[in-house]
Amino acid sequence: MTTTTILQSSIFTDFAFPFLLIFFILFGILEKTKVFGDDKHTLNAMISFVVGLIFVAAVFPKVIVGNLILFLTVAIVVVFIALLLWGFISGEAPKVPAKLQALIGIVVAIAVVIALLWAIGIATNIFDFLFNSSWSSSFWTNFAFIAVVIIGMAVAIGGSKSK
């Protein structure tokens, strides 16, 4: 038998937590950007309050944000563990070259897009279209072959220029 805590009750999970999340994020953005001017804390708070209430009234955006928050928490734990292991191995902060940094940025952008598609609920439709269609097997085989050829050519051309 599982026990539920007061923090797991629907009043918190369906209303209080989503409202507070949107309220604080929007309030912080309005304070930082000073859209309505300096020293407009009350106006920023009122706008954040109203937007938070409107957000709580809508069901689908809450589901999307809830799914994205779950993805974010898992991603934060994965990054924390990776940095922790890196610290144990090297003993210093990683110095990332610019090309690797760009590659990591691209991977993060792709992960965010995939997480957003998953959170909205259309990822399975896209996955089925790309990988379970009648044409997908031959397409991905040809795509992989062409990618290997292009990578091989890039390595060969890049290696000959450095000499």
Q: What averages of pLDDT result for each successive group of 10 residues across the chain (163 residues)? A: 78 88 93 91 94 90 85 82 68 72 77 76 80 86 91 81 54
In a domain, 3, yes or no: no
Which amino acid is present at 98? Answer: A
Beta carbons within 10 angstroms of residue 153's beta carbon? 10
Place of tokens 């797991």: 8
128 and 65 together in one domain:
yes
Position 77 scores a pLDDT of 81
In a domain, 1, yes or no: no
Counting beta carbons within 10 angstroms of the beta carbon of residue 116, is it exposed (0 to 12), middle (13 to 18) or buried (19 or more)? middle
* pLDDT at residue number 97: 78
Is 23 exposed, middle or buried (CB count within 10 Å of its CB: 0-12, 13-18, 19+)? buried
- Give, in degrees to the nearest 5, the angle at Cα 77 between 72 and 80: 120
Same domain, 125 and 141: no
Residue range(s) defining the domain that contains residue 155:
134-163
Residue 95: C-alpha distances to residues 67, 78, 79, 86, 90 (Å):
32, 19, 16, 11, 11
Question: How many domains does the chain contain in total?
Answer: 3
Task: Look at the chain and count its residues.
Answer: 163
